Structure 1
């Protein structure tokens, strides 16, 4: 049977104090002990380990290589003692956030950065995916908080309204229609149009509005996100009809957004699990978004 090795914290403290101060008198002052007590602790440690830990060099004690190696191995012990004696560490909280590309890129990225700067003890994991997967992930409690612009009601999730907006047209400021105050469906007749893809429900609504107004724009491109559609407009491809939230908050100097005269409206929602309490970090992030989301003419609180 292997003989159990015992450890003495006072001996280790004496070793560390002596190595850092260089003399038993200074080590004793540091530890609040007598010099003889420090010397006895060092002698006891040397005897127990069978090692010479210090050699006399003039009026000072010079640590041997064995003492240096032992002192280094003691670092984790004294770091742990410092944590025990110090103020309690604040546990790092994690927010599992999920959103579609239109909300994730630029908008959420910016607000995540400001949120973490104000709360350095927080941690955010952002997943970018489709609205259908957002609802499924929240329902399965793989995420704490989601943001979506699609009203997909499910038994296991709660949709909390965040923002409401009306359709807007985005175009270059040099575009002839940019001089108007409001864009009507008839104004788009014959104009080059960048549309959202047909997987978006609002694309069908836009097609119906244009058909009813007997307006036939020239479709030149399709995009899967509002940001991409506006970027194509910025490249001079024409005009687009989109949900201005959150794209209008990041408009460039050369893009103008104007109201589009239609009944097309949009809503964004916070998505949370229904069966469990929303974590404090998720509630804090919701407050952060509500407080710091910029106001624009097209967007209001839902």
Structure 2
């Protein structure tokens, strides 16, 4: 298991250094097959006892004036989130930013603000101090499986790939309800 960020993961997969990769990339790198696994939407994360926790779903205008924790400038999800708020003419007080959705959730958990992140991170970190709410506006989040085209597969590649597919199918079904 080697956690790598884009574009290093895609490069390593092209070089046939790994047997399986999970990526948000939308295009298959050279020598790699791309299989869509998960298509869901970003979600809001809130600290316990925040007034927005009373709402079942959040609209862009609900974030007006809120202290907002953002992903870093240049992150494609940050760009999509900023565009959603701009389209809705919503002003937030963006005070903190980070490159990590895990760090965003940690700051929200400490009551430093509210945020929008991918549902996998939110689901993993949710609990009494971190509340997750869906948005009324769709901001897509996609995960794809990358498999090398050339290298002989590891004997357990098929089992691992099937396990990942089943887990993602369950998540897709849960988030489509």
TM-score (normalised: structure 1): 0.54
Aligned with 1:227: secondary structure? helix
Structure 2 Cα separation of the partners of residues 199 and 280 of structure 1: 38
Name the counterpart of 1:191. Answer: 66
Contact 2:43–2:122 (Cα < 8 Å) also in 1: no
Report matched runs for 1:39-118 at 5 Å. Answer: none
Please point out which of 7, 17, 30 is paired with 1:142: 17
Report the more deviating stretch, 240-249 or 137-146. Answer: 240-249
Aligned with 1:131: secondary structure? coil
- Aligned pair 1:179/2:54, yes or no? yes
Name the counterpart of 2:141. Answer: 266
Name the counterpart of 1:101. Answer: none
In the superposition, relative to structure 1, how do residues 174 and 262 fare at CA in structure 2: closer, same or farther (>3 Å)?
same
Aligned with 2:2: secondary structure? strand
Aligned with 2:62: secondary structure? helix
Structure 2 Cα separation of the partners of residues 198 and 271 of structure 1: 26
Unaligned runs of at least 5 residues, structure 1: 1-125
Name the counterpart of 2:113. Answer: 238
State the Cα distance separating 1:146 from its structure 2 match.
Answer: 0.8
Contact 1:166–1:298 (Cα < 8 Å) also in 2: no
Give RMSD over aligned pairs.
2.0
Name the counterpart of 1:131. Answer: 6
Structure 2 Cα separation of the partners of residues 296 and 278 of structure 1: 27
Contact 2:45–2:122 (Cα < 8 Å) also in 1: no
| Count of matched residue pairs | 175
State the Cα distance separating 1:297 from its structure 2 match.
Answer: 7.9
Structure 1 Cα separation of the partners of residues 10 and 40 of structure 2: 22
Rg: which structure is higher? 1
Contact 1:195–1:219 (Cα < 8 Å) also in 2: yes
Contact 1:248–1:296 (Cα < 8 Å) also in 2: no
Unaligned runs of at least 5 residues, structure 2: none
Name the counterpart of 2:76. Answer: 201
State the Cα distance separating 1:143 from its structure 2 match.
Answer: 1.0
In the superposition, relative to structure 1, how do residues 296 and 249 fare at CA in structure 2: closer, same or farther (>3 Å)?
farther
Aligned with 2:106: secondary structure? helix
In the superposition, relative to structure 1, how do residues 272 and 131 fare at CA in structure 2: closer, same or farther (>3 Å)?
same
In the superposition, relative to structure 1, how do residues 148 and 174 fare at CA in structure 2: closer, same or farther (>3 Å)?
same
State the Cα distance separating 1:152 from its structure 2 match.
Answer: 3.7
TM-score (normalised: structure 2): 0.89
